[in-house]
Structure 1
């Protein structure tokens, strides 16, 4: 039985830095770009590799005998493959302590995968009765094979693909990359050094998506949860399930231990539940997970985690209809989020009065943007025919910032007070216009959304200057200003903690093509990322995964087989 789970990457639209502290909220959008984890019995792969080697030396051996021999191992075999990174690891699992021991090269270890495996298996033993534990023992005697692949958008392929081949910086060119393209490594590999990937990440949060995908696949494979895998609308059926809550708690704990710290948790939360407005949990809720590091039995740790008071708050969210999320990758390289967060915290301690003032104003601007986006979603749900026919959105999609502003103001009813466009303190004006209620409501929301985003940009930029870090570097400011002046752009900003990683834009109607073309002229690659509000999903077996693994196995069979039979 094969189980395939996928977990999405994310774009943190608002809440950068603030989301680390309760009760501040952040808007997190999940995307169509995912990490995938497939799980099935390792014994199938081990026998396949062994038969391949035996045939190469013309040795006759019965497959059934091989199966019975391997099944007598006292150690459960865990295989982890990441063909894109040319990495593989083999572990043995102690049933008594539920701990993993790596028996292959330590260079290919992945702490996120290791903790996901340990915590998921411990969750099964912690929640099962005796009969189910006996069945679990038999299942684990077959071993576990975990293959991990991710969509190309998680990593930057500018160097070896676009620049090396002289291709235009266009999403159409990016789409020609084969699925799950391998990641190149630096030259140290040829000298026997500890080589590292040459490519940078694009800010979609690979560790959270990968951890969640592995936990989801294993929980389902082991029978701890049973979520829909066939419905076209499985997210709607599963979103309020207790199984998702179990998945969330286990993934958060594994991710926390692998990171070595307790973060806000929004990165794992969106990967499980999908797009949301999120308030983080209290750090104390993961004190049980941290106790595992100090030697507490893992089964006991898991019981404490599952019975803990998880006080995070989440509200479903998605971009309003007729709007499109775009993500662009500048050529300026990535940023270190942990060091930037550390600098902001240091600034908070050094200047508590000013930092608190900035915090409050930024939280207010974040809240205002959330309110207006929700207002548009509500208008679309309750008055769809009127909403989709409102020519304001259609006409604004063909206007630049200055004309967009004038058009909005001229579309308002008489005696309607609304702010003028400015990053300075808000001024108010009385304008003349038409009187249709739905049109008026849409116009107000659009105007206040842009005003809110401009205020967020201003406050984030100021916070970076005060903390001495490039939350919105000058190059990004110039790019955002140019983006906000493009036809059909409603919002633009730097996602998450900011820096050089990426920029986002929210466009109206079908104007996204104009933006991707304009970004290309600014040396910015528009990724294939689009919002998809659903979180973790289960899929049927992916033949592309099997084909990639089939090509990857011949070069790894001998080494792993030696590791396997030496344990």
Structure 2
């Protein structure tokens, strides 16, 4: 029997930079693309040996020897490992440390007696599929991406892969930590059956800590939060909660600090999902430039111009919160009158935004819904303007000119609500929120129009991901995840 846990990727559609401070919040969307960790007790590996494999990459196997005493757990890398993986090592070390504190040396030793094989695989969207599409002679379309085998081999080492900015490290860490906690019986098997169990919150807290330690800094944590809880309005935790643990050599006990009963974990997770009959579309953008260290430069500007930056951040936060409120209002409108909502989406899905309210003869309920969609469009465009202003003041390309031209073209497509550059911005990706009418036989689908526009842009490649309505990490069954069993069988 294997323990299998998956965790989703993310898209921060509002709140870039602001989510670094507890005073502000961000809208984070959980993606349908997931990382999977498969843990199997396996003879032949060796007692108290853990083998971690990432079969999508070249030379991506790491072995560790674990020694367990009443006092502590030691995890040592094998001398013949061809590379180091700090993220995997720290996830193993700190999760086993935590498990040792909770279940004790005897129980943990029993789990490790046979040795563990841990296979980790990420959905194709986490990595650029341009090379695979070219090898198959396929155009850059959603239909083509669906023809690539699941968990496709990248043909490169982990260090050379082109990532698409969906939070692969956070998803991987959350998946791995959660699976280890389950496999060592540190948290109950039912921990991920509901959204807000102590087991899920504990896994979240530990994954946040491991991810911060691996990165060498206490980040905002929205990516790990999305991996743990799914789509939501995120407000960060106080970084001081884990600062005592942020040394690689820290010997401080983990349990009291990581425990969900520790009130210093004061993050907020407010339920959120995109309105019905809409779809988030994501694209990998290869603009031929390296994204600079945006966050450091923005924070340096904020420190040098405290009053100006505070005013801009406060105004931007108000716009972000208005967008969240408007999108929630649309969901409420659907719940109150699904017929009018469906009809309104059908109508405006055939028009550019400037025409959504042009026909005064439409029923009042439909016009109100169209008006609210238009407000969402205006707010998303306002966020883009404010983010560009921040980039200009800080001297960094939060929305580079190439992205501005592409996004301006995209948001003018019939049936597109709005869009932007996710997270901290830069050259790597864009997101769009697109209407999905029920009937597309007459005028076609907005999604198809977006694809046509992206196909004409040489640097743009779509991703298959949409919003995941599953609430974060979850237990899976190996045989029911398409292609996973085959993928982890690769050597």
Do they fold alike, i.e. is TM over 0.5? yes
* TM-aligned CA distance change 1:376 to 1:549, over 3 Å: closer
Any idea what SS the aligned residue of 1:238 has? coil
Counterpart among 271, 275, 299 of residue 316 in structure 1: 271
Q: Contact 1:31–1:530 (CA<8 Å) still a contact in 2? A: yes
Establish whether residue 253 from structure 1 lines up as the match of residue 209 from structure 2.
yes
Could you say what secondary structure the match of 1:278 adopts? strand
Q: Distance in 2 between matches of 1:473 and 1:351?
A: 22
CA contact (8 A) 1:288 1:301 kept: no
Q: For the aligned residues, what is the CA RMSD?
A: 2.1
Partner of 2:106: 134
Deviation at 1:165, TM superposition (A): 5.1
In 2, are the aligned partners of 1:273 and 1:536 still within 8 Å (CA)?
A: yes
| SS at structure 1 position matched to 2:356 | helix
Task: Kindly provide the CA deviation profile for residues 513-536 of structure 1, in whole angstroms up to 9, marking residues without a partner as x.
Answer: 221122111222221011103210
Match of 2:174 in 1: 212
Superposed CA deviations along residues 56-81 of structure 1, whole A, max 9, x for unmatched, are: xxxxxxxxxxxxxx55xxxx211100
Which secondary structure does the structure 2 equivalent of 1:457 belong to?
A: helix
Q: Which residue of 2 aligns with 1:301?
A: 254
> C-alpha displacement at 1:329, in angstroms?
1.7
Greater Cα offset, 343-352 or 205-214: 343-352
CA distance in 2, matches of 1:213, 1:154: 14
- Of 219, 224, 231, which aligns to 1:268? 224
Contact in 2 for aligned 1:98/1:122 (Cα 8 Å): yes
Question: Are 2:241 and 1:285 aligned?
Answer: yes
Deviation at 1:239, TM superposition (A): 0.5
Asked if the contact 2:242–2:257 (Cα under 8 Å) also holds between the matched residues in 1, the reply is: no
1:81 aligned partner: 53
Aligned to 1:379: 333
Q: Does 1:360 align with 2:349?
A: no
Tell me which stretches of 4 or more aligned residues in structure 1 moved more than 6 Å: none
**What whole-Å deviation, never above 9, does each CA across 1:181-208 have from its counterpart, x for those lacking one?**
11233xxxxxxxxx66543111101000
**Contact (CA 8 Å) 1:29, 1:533: kept in 2 or not?**
no
Pairing 1:476–2:403 present: yes
- Match in the other structure for 1:559: none
**Compared with structure 1, are the counterparts of its residues 180 and 45 closer, same or farther at alpha carbon in structure 2 (3 Å cutoff)?**
farther
| CA shift for structure 1 position 272 | 0.5
**1:109 — aligned with what?**
84
Corresponding residue for 2:301? 347
Task: Write out per-residue CA displacement over residues 452-499 of structure 1, whole angstroms, 9 at most, x where no aligned residue.
Answer: 111100011111111111111111001001001111100111111111
Q: CA deviation at 1:506?
A: 0.8
TM-score normalised to the size of structure 1? Answer: 0.79
Uncovered stretches (5+) of structure 2, i.e. residues with no partner: 437-444
Partner of 1:44: 43
Superposition pairs of residues 84-99 of structure 1, within 5 angstroms: 84-86=56-58, 87-96=60-69, 97-99=72-74
Does the aligned pair in 1 maintain the 2:61–2:81 contact within 8 Å?
A: no
In 1, are the aligned partners of 2:164 and 2:429 still within 8 Å (CA)? yes
Q: From the superposition, tell whether residues 289 and 382 of structure 1 become closer, same or farther in structure 2 (CA, over 3 Å).
A: farther
Which of 436, 439, 448 does residue 513 from structure 1 map onto? 448
Number of matched pairs: 474
Q: Do the aligned partners of 1:9 and 1:204 also contact (CA within 8 Å) in 2?
A: yes
1:102-141: CA deviation from partner (whole Å, max 9, x where unpaired): 014454322111121122222222223x6xx523321222
State the partner residue of 1:397: 349
Q: Distance in 1 between matches of 2:484 and 2:136?
A: 26
- The answer for unaligned runs of 5 or more in structure 1 is 47-69, 186-194, 230-234, 412-432, 553-567
Kindly indicate which of the two structures has a greater share of residues assigned to helix: 1
Question: Deviation string for 1:82-121 (max 9, x for gaps)?
Answer: 1111310110113133231101445432211112112222
Matched residues in 1 for 2:84 and 2:180: separation?
18
- Provide Cα deviations, 1:341-393, integer angstroms capped at 9, x if missing partner: 001011112222322222122111111111100111122223334422xx322
Describe the SS at the equivalent of 1:262: coil
Residue 439 of structure 2: aligned partner: none
Q: How far apart in 1 are the matches of 2:278 and 2:248?
A: 46
User: Closer, same or farther in 2 for the Cα pair 1:5/1:263, shift >3 Å?
Assistant: same
Match of 1:536 among 459, 464, 473: 473
- For residues 285 and 304 of structure 1, the distance between their equivalents in structure 2, rounded to whole angstroms, comes to 7
Larger radius of gyration: 1
Q: 2: CA distance between counterparts of 1:406 and 1:152?
A: 38
